[in-house]
Chains A and B, each alone.
Chain A
């Protein structure tokens, strides 16, 4: 078991020594079950750090946002940032390292193993609890999650309440860390890798088409999926004409020459276009933290788009995003033996 005190001790040491400017971690939220991200800068606040199955956010996003904030600062504190990272967070950090978006010495990675478990899916939990509100959830090991509600504690099957991505996860421990808390557990046995995406792939073409049409129809293009994605760190998004940067140096010609690849309208076709472009731009970069799917207000199973490409990358190109920051990325590399049969 990961002892939260160990993490707190390390956080305290780092802050005391002035080695880091803050520790990015989780604390209890006043707004529901899920823990919320926090930047701890004061020693007094270290005790608020928590670690359990409610720590669902991908903290790599906060590294990215912090980077943006810092860029705008006049005299930024250049000391590194410590970040608590579970397996998926750490893979995202690796991709950011691979893409030179952050430098290795800018972060101290406090890796935390999920120890064979994972984080909960609040929608699943709500279903299982039939309306009762949970106040705490922790992975107990051996495939069970202990949930506390007003009416007491209950032990639930992990496969019923953990997020799909956790059930399918092959490496639920950090791929990069300066210090590791908890044991690496490889034996899982919840669900097979890419099970959800394979189920969709197994449908007939008509079924798949109808399945996605039904989902894309609901998209309201709120771009929450993009906002929560640690890989969507571009200042200007190519698929969205509303995010064009206009700075003091932007010329009228530049403004006129912006390409409007996709209409703003929320027709199913344009929505599909948006999600296609996003999926392509995440190919080999998405680490399946599934935050896009979690935050989607209209419940589009967005991670399936990304994992469909992730599974192709693994099976056809032996490429797993976020494992090695030194390797060239999926689409900026090739092998002579790449699939060729599909070409006429």
Chain B
């Protein structure tokens, strides 16, 4: 009897306390520098996204993204330099095509498309970085935990 009563309460409590786990792959030259600027400007955004700095968004293998989901990420962000601004000239163009395909594939198997995002954030766009993360956290909170690709430890 008590189990029946408690279950919805528990679920509601979980929904309220759900803090999404997000991995953010940031390219060193633009997006990581942009997030540094957000820091220097003391912009506040939710702490859910843990950054991993990579040299270039072009180095982000689909395996990184899938692995993050597999390890329990509720959302994955890949952020690079705007088209034409890549420190490595064109790494972000390769990333864009590759990540487009990953996104379409994840969508195809029914993973909520809001869980995987790509953004262009330049070194000057601290505000944008803070906004991208804030929006992402908000959208994922609405979705709840990701289970589709999460391994059972």
Selected contact of A334 from candidates B67, B90, B107, B120, CB within 8 Å: B90
With most chain A CB atoms within 10 A of its CB, the pick from B101, B148, B149, B150 is B101
Q: Considering the chains assembled together, what is the distance between the CA atoms of A21 and B76 in angstroms? A: 52
Residue of B nearest to A306 (CB): B105
Residue of A nearest to B111 (CB): A209
Q: Which of A245-279 contact B (CB under 8 A)?
A: 261-263, 265, 267, 269-270, 272-273, 275-277, 279
- Is the Cβ of B83 less than 8 Å from the Cβ of A336? yes
The prevalent SS among residues of A at the interface is helix
- Is the Cβ of A343 less than 8 Å from the Cβ of B108? no
Query: For the complex, is B70 an interface residue (Cβ under 8 Å from A)?
Result: yes
What A residues does B94 contact at CB under 8 A? 331-332, 334
Selected contact of B108 from candidates A200, A206, A267, A344, CB within 8 Å: A200
Residue of A nearest to B93 (CB): A334
- CB of B2 to closest CB in A, whole Å: 31
Residue of A nearest to B135 (CB): A344
- Is the Cβ of B152 less than 8 Å from the Cβ of A338? no
Query: For the complex, is A152 an interface residue (Cβ under 8 Å from B)?
Result: no
Q: Considering the chains assembled together, what is the distance between the CA atoms of A238 and B66 in angstroms? A: 13
Bitwise, B60-74 to A at CB < 8 A (1) or not (0) is: 001100110110000
Query: For the complex, is B109 an interface residue (Cβ under 8 Å from A)?
Result: yes
- Is the Cβ of A279 less than 8 Å from the Cβ of B70? no
Q: Considering the chains assembled together, what is the distance between the CA atoms of A305 and B67 in angstroms? A: 19
- CB of B30 to closest CB in A, whole Å: 13
Selected contact of A344 from candidates B97, B104, B132, CB within 8 Å: B132
Q: Considering the chains assembled together, what is the distance between the CA atoms of A272 and B96 in angstroms? A: 23
- Is the Cβ of A279 less than 8 Å from the Cβ of B105? yes
Q: Considering the chains assembled together, what is the distance between the CA atoms of A308 and B105 in angstroms? A: 7
Query: For the complex, is B98 an interface residue (Cβ under 8 Å from A)?
Result: yes
- Is the Cβ of A272 less than 8 Å from the Cβ of B109? yes
The prevalent SS among residues of B at the interface is helix
Selected contact of B97 from candidates A209, A212, A265, A317, CB within 8 Å: A317
Query: For the complex, is B35 an interface residue (Cβ under 8 Å from A)?
Result: no
- Is the Cβ of B110 less than 8 Å from the Cβ of A273? no
- Is the Cβ of A308 less than 8 Å from the Cβ of B108? yes
- Is the Cβ of A334 less than 8 Å from the Cβ of B105? no
- Is the Cβ of A277 less than 8 Å from the Cβ of B62? yes
Contact A273/B120 with A208-B110, A308-B104 known, Cβ cut-off 8 Å = no
- Is the Cβ of A276 less than 8 Å from the Cβ of B96? no
- CB of A290 to closest CB in B, whole Å: 17
- Is the Cβ of B101 less than 8 Å from the Cβ of A343? no
Query: For the complex, is B147 an interface residue (Cβ under 8 Å from A)?
Result: yes
What A residues does B111 contact at CB under 8 A? 209
Residue of B nearest to A275 (CB): B109
What B residues does A309 contact at CB under 8 A? 101, 104-105
- Is the Cβ of B63 less than 8 Å from the Cβ of A267? no
Contact A338/B93 with A277-B62, A283-B101 known, Cβ cut-off 8 Å = yes
User: What are the 10 closest A-B residue pairs judged by CB atoms, nearest first?
Assistant: A209-B110, A208-B110, A344-B119, A334-B93, A280-B62, A212-B109, A308-B108, A343-B118, A334-B97, A312-B104
* A–B Cβ pairs within 8 angstroms, 10 of them: A205-B110, A205-B113, A209-B148, A212-B110, A263-B151, A280-B63, A309-B104, A312-B104, A334-B93, A344-B119
